[in-house]
Chains A and B, each alone.
Chain A
Amino acid sequence: MRYLPLTPIDRRDMLAVIGAKSVDELFKDVPADARLPSKVAGLPDHLGELEVERAFQNYAAKNVSPSTAPFFIGAGAYRHHVPSTVDYMIQRGEFLTSYTPYQPEITQGTLQYLFEFQTQVSLLTGMEVANASMYDGSTGASEAVLMANRITRRTKALISGGLHPHYRNIIETTAHWQGYSAVAAKTDAEGLEDLIAKVDKETSCVVVQNPSFFGHVRDFTKLAAACHEAGALLIVVVTEVVSLGLIMPPGEMGADIVVCEGQSIGNGLGFGGPYVGLFATRDKYVRQMPGRLVGETVDADGKRGFVLTLSTREQHIRREKATSNICTNAGLCALAFTVHLTLLGEAGFRRLAELNHAKASELADRVAALPGVKLLNESFFNEFTVRLPKPAAPVVQALADKRILGGVPVSRLIPDDPSVENLLLLAATETATEAGMGPLIAGLKEVL
C-alpha cells in the first residue's frame, strides 16, 4: 500500500523491540468479542491512484459543471474567478499540511497570514477587530447570536425576514437546543421590513443581512441606534462579501458584530463547503468572541512575531466555561481568502465589485423585460428576486433540462410559504458573459 512505509521486516523488528509476538497483542485491551477476526467485511480492497481518479471522474461526469453551462445561481454561494496563484499557494505543503499554530516558533507563516487576514476582515467590514475565521458564515451567524446573549445577558434574538433561510434555521436549531429564544420575522421578499418597533428590553440582538437574501441593499443605521437604545446588539450578516467593495460597510452603520460568508474570495463553490466565516466586532467585545485570535508580540530577541492569544476564552483552557466549543477554524480557506484579497488589493477589489454590480444590472433589466416577469428589487448588488408568472421550481428544472443553471427558486429554501412560490433568485458575477446570458433569456422565454 503506497502510503504505508513499514515493511514486513520493519514490523517484525519493531515487535521485537516492543517485546510482543504479534500486533494482535497490542490490541489486547479490546474486548475479545469486539475484535474483528479480519478486515471489515463487505468493503473493497485498496486501489491504485489511476483507479481512484477514474472513480471520481465517473462521479463528476454525472454532474453538470457550472463551467459548462450558463450559470446564474447565488443564494449564499457565488461563482467567481479565483486566480491561479491562490490555489497554488494553498497547496504548498507548508500551509496545507500544518496544523493549528500551537508552537508559534515554527508556525509563523500561518500566524502571520491569519494576522493579515484579521486585519483585512476588520477593514472590509468597517469593524475594529476580527477573529481568525469560523467554519462558515452560517455557523458564524449562530455563534454571533450566542455572543450577543453573553454580552447582553438576554436570551431573545430577533431575526430579519431577509436573513438567508439556512442561517435562520441554524439559529433556530441552536436556540431550541441551547435554550434561548429566536423570533423570526416573516419572509421579507419585498425588502420593506421595519424591525425597529420590535426591539425591546428583552432583545439580545437583531440579526439582519445586507444585501438581504432577496438582494435588497439596506441602511441599518437607524436600526442600530434603536438596538443600542434598548441595550441590544445589531448583528449584520453578509453572504456575498464582494459587495463590501461597493456598499457601505456594516461597521459604518453601527453594527456590533458582523458575520460574512467569505467563500466568494478565494474559495470555489465546492458544492457547499468548506467555506470560511468572517467574524468581526468592536474592541470592547473581544473577550466574548468565539474562535481563534492571533496577536502580535515579540520573541526573546525582541523581534516581532505572532501567537494565538486570549485563549482563556477557549474550550481547551476553559472547558465547560468556554465562549464556544469551537476548536477547528477554516485556516486554509482563510489563506485562500487572504491571498485572493491581497492580489485584488484596494483597486482590484473595488473593480471586482463594480463588475458584479454591472453584470447583475444588465441581467436584471433583461429578465425584467420578459413578459409577465416583475423585478422586486429597487436596490441590489449582484443578486435580485423576480416574480415569475408561474411557480419558479418547475421553471428552474425546465431550464436545467436545457443545461441552463438559471437561479434558485425561493421555495427550495422557504418551502412552507406559498407567497414565495413564484419567486426566483438570480445572481450574476464577473463570470457572466453574453454566451451565458443570451441562452438564459432565450430559455426563460421558452419555458415561461
Chain B
Amino acid sequence: MVQSLDRSQGRAGGIAAAASDSPTFTGNRALQIEEPLIFEMGQPGRCGVDLPEPPKVKDRLNGLKRTGEIGLPGLSEPQVVQHYTRLSQKNYAIDMGVYPLGSCTMKHNPRINEKVARLPGIGDLHPLQPVSTVQGALELIDRLAHWLKTLTGMPAVAMSPAAGAHGEMCGMMAIAAALEARGERSKRRVVLAPESAHGTNPATAAALGFTVKPIPANERGRVDLASLKAALGSDVAAIMLTNPNTCGLFESEIVEISRAVHEAGAFFYCDGANFNAIVGRVRPGDLGVDCMHINLHKTFSTPHGGGGPGAGPVVLSAALAPYAPYPWIVKDGEKWRVAEDGAAVDGKPLGRLKAFHGQMGMFTRALSYIMSHGADGLKQAAEDAVLSANYVMAALKDVMTPAFEGPCMHEALFDDGFLKDTGVSTLDFAKAMIDEGYHPMTMYFPLVVHGAMLIEPTESQAKEDLDVFIAALRSLAERAKSGTAAEEFKAAPRFAPRRRLDETLAARKPVLRWRPSNNPPEGDPLKQAAD
C-alpha cells in the first residue's frame, strides 16, 4: 500500500514517521515540496551531460587507475534543475525581504555585479596567464585598491585574503612582522580584545601564539578606556577592536584609544566588519588605525552565497605596508606586473596567504558596486544604513529594550529585558519572526548583552517595508509580554519548511554524509506507486 511519496529516510525513521501527520498524500504543502537527496534519486545510465566517447589511449597513470564505483548518482539535466530549484525554495534570502542579520550587512546584491564578473576577458582569465595578456585585470585590481585606500585614508592594501578572518590573519601577521623587525616579537605576546569582539579576533590572535586578554566594556557599551590603559604595557602587541563596535556603537574615545595604544608601542588592528556604517563619511586612517580588513561581502555587496565566498582585503598603515604579503601588483611605467614570491619589492613581504592573486570575482563585483555608488552614493548608503537602524531602534524602544542609550550606528542592539518573566526567550522570539516572514536578527551576539538581538536593516529597505517589519516586531513583543503566548512562541516556527531542528541530536551522534545503508529499502513506496 502506498502511504506517501516522501522518501525521507535516515533519522526521520522512515516514510511512515515522516508523513504520518501530513495532510497531503505526497507530504508536500503546495510550493513547499519535500525533496530527497540526490543519492536517493539517481539511476545508473542517466547523465546530465553529453560528452564525446574518449579515444582509446593506453593510460599513463602509473598503474593507479581507479577501480570500483565512486558512488555518484546519475541524474538527467531536468532532474538536476528541479532538485536545486526545489532546494532553493527552502531558503530565505535578501532577494525576498528584510534580512536584519546584525554584523553581516545583508544589503541588496546588484545583478550588474554578477554580469560584469562573468564577462569574457574577466571571468575566464587564468591567474597564470602571461602578465602581458592580463593588463586589464591587474588594472582593475589596482583600481579597487585605489578606492579602498582612499575611502579608508590608508596608504596601502593587501588584496589577497580570502575572507574577513583571513584578512585578520594577514593583518596580525603584518603586526607580528613589524614587531619582529623591531626585535620585539618575543617580548610583546599579548593582544587585547574587547569582550564584545567577534570570535574570529581571539581565534586569530591565539593562532599566532598571542595571549588574548579581554578588555571590559563600560556601561555605555564602549571600551573602558581606564581598563585599556591599565592593560597596556611593554608586553602588548596590539589591540583588536571593531569600530563601529559589535554593539552597533561608535567608539567615541577611539582617538584616545589609538593614541594610548601607540604610546605603549603597540598596534591598532581594526576589525572592519562594520565599515558600512561609516564608509564615505569617516576614514579609519584618521582614527589612528594601523590595519583593517574590509569584508567585501558586507560593505561592498558581493553576494553572501550561503556562507561565502568572501574577500577580505586589508588596508595597512605606512608602518605595516612593507610587510604586505605576496603578490604585489606593481606599475612599471605604463605596464602592470605581478610581483610574486621571491620577487624584489620595496618592502619585506610576510610571505603568501593564498594561491594566485586573491578573490578576483569578488574584486570585480565590489568595484562594480563602488562605481555604481560613487563617492556620493557610498556616503548616502552609510547614512541611510545608520538612519534605518536608528529608526528601527526608535520605533521599537517602548516595547523592546535597547541595550544602550543614545544613537546607534548601522545596527540596533536590544537585550531580552522585555521578555523577562514571559517564558519567551530570545530564541523563541527569533523563531516567531520566521513565521512572520522574516529572517531573524543575530541572536545572542555580542556576548556582553543578555539575550542579545542585533538588528541591522541596512540601507536597502524601503521605509514602508521597514514599517511593516517594525509593526510585526511590535506585535510579537506585545504578544510575548501578554504572558499567555509562551507555548505559541515555543512552537515557532510553524509555517517554515521545517519546524525547530534537534541540534543536540545532530551533535551527539553526527551524521555528516549520506551512506548507502540509508537507501530506501526494498518495497520503496515510490517504486510501488510507479508500479
CB of A6 within 8 A of CB of B463, answer yes
Within 8 A of B (CB), among A265-318: 268-274, 276, 286, 292-307, 309-312, 314-318
Q: Which of A113-121, A197-205, A226-234, A435-443 contacts B (4 or more CB under 8 A)?
A: A113-121
Query: Scoring B residues 76 to 88 as 1 if CB is less than 8 Å from chain A, else 0, what string do you get?
Result: 0100110111011
Q: B208 CB to closest chain A CB, in angstroms?
A: 6
Question: Do A325 and B203 form a contact, CB below 8 Å, given A20-B407, A217-B62?
Answer: yes
- Residues in A neighbouring B460, C-beta threshold 8 A: 3-5
The answer to whether A154 has its CB under 8 Å from any CB of chain B is no
Q: B311 CB to closest chain A CB, in angstroms?
A: 7
Taken together as a complex, chains A and B put the C-alpha atoms of A274 and B163 apart, in Å, by: 10
CB of A304 within 8 A of CB of B124, answer no
CB of A170 within 8 A of CB of B352, answer yes
Q: A47 CB to closest chain B CB, in angstroms?
A: 5
Question: Which one of A247, A276, A342 has the highest number of Cβ atoms from chain B below 10 Å of its Cβ?
Answer: A342
CB of B462 within 8 A of CB of A63, answer no
The answer to whether A152 has its CB under 8 Å from any CB of chain B is no
Chain A interface bracket (under 10, 10 to 19, 20 to 34, 35 or more):
35 or more
Question: Which one of A6, A110, A271, A413 has the highest number of Cβ atoms from chain B below 10 Å of its Cβ?
Answer: A271
Question: Do A169 and B45 form a contact, CB below 8 Å, given A328-B308, A343-B80, A355-B54?
Answer: no
Q: A14 CB to closest chain B CB, in angstroms?
A: 4
CB of B120 within 8 A of CB of A65, answer yes
Question: Do A52 and B116 form a contact, CB below 8 Å, given A18-B390, A34-B287?
Answer: yes
Main secondary structure of the interface of B (DSSP, over half): loop
- Closest A residue, CB atoms, query B204: A325
CB of A315 within 8 A of CB of B151, answer no
- Residues in B neighbouring A348, C-beta threshold 8 A: 47-49, 51, 74
- Closest B residue, CB atoms, query A165: B341
Taken together as a complex, chains A and B put the C-alpha atoms of A314 and B84 apart, in Å, by: 28
Q: B97 CB to closest chain A CB, in angstroms?
A: 11
- Residues in A neighbouring B305, C-beta threshold 8 A: 90, 95-96, 98, 330-333, 335
Taken together as a complex, chains A and B put the C-alpha atoms of A119 and B42 apart, in Å, by: 14
- Residues in A neighbouring B124, C-beta threshold 8 A: 65-67, 79, 268-270
The answer to whether B66 has its CB under 8 Å from any CB of chain A is yes
Contact of A331 among B20, B59, B308 (CB under 8 A): B308
Query: Scoring A residues 338 to 358 as 1 if CB is less than 8 Å from chain B, else 0, what string do you get?
Result: 010111111111111011011
CB of B54 within 8 A of CB of A331, answer no
Q: Which of B260-268, B358-366, B414-422, B477-485 contacts A (4 or more CB under 8 A)?
A: B358-366
Within 8 A of A (CB), among B339-353: 340-343, 350-353
Q: A75 CB to closest chain B CB, in angstroms?
A: 5
CB of A247 within 8 A of CB of B64, answer yes
- Residues in B neighbouring A70, C-beta threshold 8 A: none
- Residues in A neighbouring B431, C-beta threshold 8 A: 105
Taken together as a complex, chains A and B put the C-alpha atoms of A136 and B131 apart, in Å, by: 23
Taken together as a complex, chains A and B put the C-alpha atoms of A296 and B513 apart, in Å, by: 8
Q: Which of B225-233, B274-282, B314-322, B519-527 contacts A (4 or more CB under 8 A)?
A: B274-282
- Residues in B neighbouring A326, C-beta threshold 8 A: 163, 165-166
- Residues in B neighbouring A46, C-beta threshold 8 A: 371-374, 376-377
- Closest B residue, CB atoms, query A51: B371
CB of B306 within 8 A of CB of A19, answer no
- Closest A residue, CB atoms, query B360: A271
- Residues in A neighbouring B52, C-beta threshold 8 A: 355
CB of B434 within 8 A of CB of A105, answer yes
- Residues in B neighbouring A388, C-beta threshold 8 A: none
CB of B48 within 8 A of CB of A379, answer no
- Closest A residue, CB atoms, query B83: A342
The answer to whether A378 has its CB under 8 Å from any CB of chain B is yes
Question: Do A400 and B89 form a contact, CB below 8 Å, given A14-B463, A137-B355?
Answer: no
The answer to whether B386 has its CB under 8 Å from any CB of chain A is yes
The answer to whether B423 has its CB under 8 Å from any CB of chain A is no
The answer to whether B489 has its CB under 8 Å from any CB of chain A is no
CB of B356 within 8 A of CB of A271, answer yes
Question: Do A5 and B461 form a contact, CB below 8 Å, given A62-B139, A97-B95, A219-B62?
Answer: yes
Q: A165 CB to closest chain B CB, in angstroms?
A: 7
Question: Do A357 and B506 form a contact, CB below 8 Å, given A98-B93, A113-B87?
Answer: no
Taken together as a complex, chains A and B put the C-alpha atoms of A102 and B445 apart, in Å, by: 12
Q: A59 CB to closest chain B CB, in angstroms?
A: 4
Query: Scoring A residues 67 to 108 as 1 if CB is less than 8 Å from chain B, else 0, what string do you get?
Result: 110010101110100010101111111111111111111111
The answer to whether A132 has its CB under 8 Å from any CB of chain B is yes
Taken together as a complex, chains A and B put the C-alpha atoms of A102 and B119 apart, in Å, by: 33
Question: Do A136 and B354 form a contact, CB below 8 Å, given A97-B109, A269-B127?
Answer: yes
- Closest B residue, CB atoms, query A280: B513
The answer to whether A244 has its CB under 8 Å from any CB of chain B is yes
Contact of A358 among B55, B439, B440 (CB under 8 A): B55
CB of B352 within 8 A of CB of A56, answer no
CB of B72 within 8 A of CB of A108, answer no
CB of A405 within 8 A of CB of B513, answer no
Question: Do A400 and B132 form a contact, CB below 8 Å, given A116-B38, A304-B8?
Answer: yes
- Residues in A neighbouring B37, C-beta threshold 8 A: 112, 115-116, 119
Within 8 A of A (CB), among B291-332: 297, 303-311, 325-326
- Closest B residue, CB atoms, query A133: B308
- Residues in B neighbouring A373, C-beta threshold 8 A: none
Q: A343-B80, A405-B129 are in contact. List 4 more A-B contacts (CB 8 A).
A: A40-B150, A116-B38, A318-B203, A415-B343
Listed A/B pairs (14) with beta-carbon separation below 8 Å: A11-B384, A63-B125, A93-B96, A96-B93, A105-B501, A106-B434, A110-B306, A115-B37, A246-B65, A248-B65, A274-B359, A299-B501, A302-B17, A343-B48
Q: 3 tightest CB-CB pairs across the interface, nearest first?
A: A173-B351, A332-B305, A272-B356
